Amino acid sequence: MSGGRFEGQVAIITGGGSGIGRATSIGFAQGGGRVVICELDADRAAETLSLIGKGPHEATSVIGDLTTAETADALVAAAGAMGDIDVLVNCAGFGGGRAAYDSFDPDLWARIFAVNVDGPFQLIGRVIRQMAERGKGAIVNVSSAAGLVGEPGIYGYSASKAAIVNLTRALALHYASRGVRVNCVCPGVTDTNFLSNVRAAPDADELFARYAEMMPIGRLAQPSEVAEAILFLASDAASFCVGSVLAVDGGWTAQ
Ligand SMILES: NC(=O)c1ccc[n+]([C@@H]2O[C@H](COP(=O)([O-])OP(=O)(O)OC[C@H]3O[C@@H](n4cnc5c(N)ncnc54)[C@H](O)[C@@H]3O)[C@@H](O)[C@H]2O)c1
């Protein structure tokens, strides 16, 4: 497509092999942008690239764990080879499952924070200075409705997603006058691989029905519905959005 909303732009999108990150990567590419996705899972990344259907100079992947310096460096290098980095979407996330507070495994807690907070922090650190020097850039962090309201049983996840909300705000304030917009999307329950554990549970139907009930809209989100909000915040159409925390949750946190 020519003349799209991301024509000539370059994005790094983590978690681009599945769910919301995949829908965002496809949307960015359809808008004329070039994209580097970061994925742990090589097959998922390859499938997203084949759905995008463009050559490697327009869409490529870095397979690795976004929490490592090597992967972060490789991402910035791959995107830099395409041009100046205009957009960073920190989409990959780790849930860690449910556990009682008094039996919460500290290593699991650390891993949740590594993927959901430290990794984005590290990647932002690698791109934001050059964005500020150019006076142009958009960073979109993917939090969760569970980062806005408390949910028992997912303590580490909820705390990490709240952390990324306020990291968004603090960075947004510092960079607002330097041409870099930092914003955040908080999805409600979305039908992706993120729910694979729930889907495999013996009472999966009941759990899905409960999720649907939790949201006033009465159903789960589709990944593309969340991706649209991310793409809006990444685009020039959101030129006055700075430090926005956009709930895309079917009304869950409006209650
Ligand atoms: N699905 C939901 O119900 C829901 C609700 C609220 C928020 N979210 C958030 O939305 C974001 C996207 O979730 P999704 O539902 O699309 O999940 P998903 O599982 O479909 O996709 C996430 C992808 O990220 C990749 N990934 C995970 N950790 C990684 C790492 N360390 N390095 C590189 N890649 C990694 C996974 O391999 C996976 O392909 C996450 O941050 C999640 O916390 C999801």
SS3 224: helix
Its pTM stands at: 0.98
Q: Which atom number of ligand 1 is nearest to the Cα of residue 226?
A: 10
Residue nearest to atom 1 of ligand 1 (CA): 190
Active site (annotated) includes residue 175: no
Residue 44 beta carbon below 6 angstroms from any ligand 1 atom: yes
What average pLDDT does the segment 142-168 reach? 96
Residue 41 beta carbon below 6 angstroms from any ligand 1 atom: yes
Residue 189 beta carbon below 6 angstroms from any ligand 1 atom: yes
Residue nearest to atom 21 of ligand 1 (CA): 18
Q: Give the C-alpha separation, 231 to 252, whole Å.
A: 21
What is the per-residue pLDDT for 1? 44
Residue nearest to atom 17 of ligand 1 (CA): 194
Q: What percent of the chain has pLDDT over 90?
A: 93
Residue 18 beta carbon below 6 angstroms from any ligand 1 atom: yes
What average pLDDT does the segment 83-91 reach? 98
Provide the CA 117 distance to its chain's centre, in angstroms: 11
| Residue 181 CB partners (closer than 8 Å, separation 6+) | 137, 138, 139, 172, 175, 233, 238, 239, 241, 242
Q: Give the C-alpha separation, 173 to 8, whole Å.
A: 27
Which domains does the chain show, CATH number per domain?
10-193+223-245 (3.40.50.720)
- Residue pLDDT, tens place only, 30-86: 999 999 999 999 999 999 999 999 999 999 999 999 999 999 999 999 999 999 999
- The mean pLDDT value of the chain amounts to 96
What is the per-residue pLDDT for 100? 85
What average pLDDT does the segment 99-111 reach? 91
Q: Specify the long-range contacts of residues 129-133, CB closer than 8 Å, at least 24 apart.
A: 130/84, 130/85, 131/85, 131/86, 131/175, 131/179, 131/180, 132/175, 132/178, 132/179, 132/180
The yes-or-no verdict on residue 128 having pLDDT over 50 is yes
Triad 111, 114, 120: Cα angle to 5°:
150
Helices (H) and strands (E) in the chain, counts: 9, 7
Instruction: Place 247 in a pLDDT band, splitting at 50, 70 and 90.
Output: very high
Instruction: Place 149 in a pLDDT band, splitting at 50, 70 and 90.
Output: very high
Instruction: Place 2 in a pLDDT band, splitting at 50, 70 and 90.
Output: low
Residue showing tokens 């993927």: 115
Residue 67 beta carbon below 6 angstroms from any ligand 1 atom: yes
For the ranges 97-111, 114-128, 148-162, 207-221, which has the lowest average pLDDT? 97-111
Residue nearest to atom 34 of ligand 1 (CA): 39
What is the per-residue pLDDT for 3? 81
> How does DSSP classify residue 184?
E
| Residue 66 CB partners (closer than 8 Å, separation 6+) | 14, 38, 72, 75, 92, 115, 119, 123
The residue type found at 157 is Y
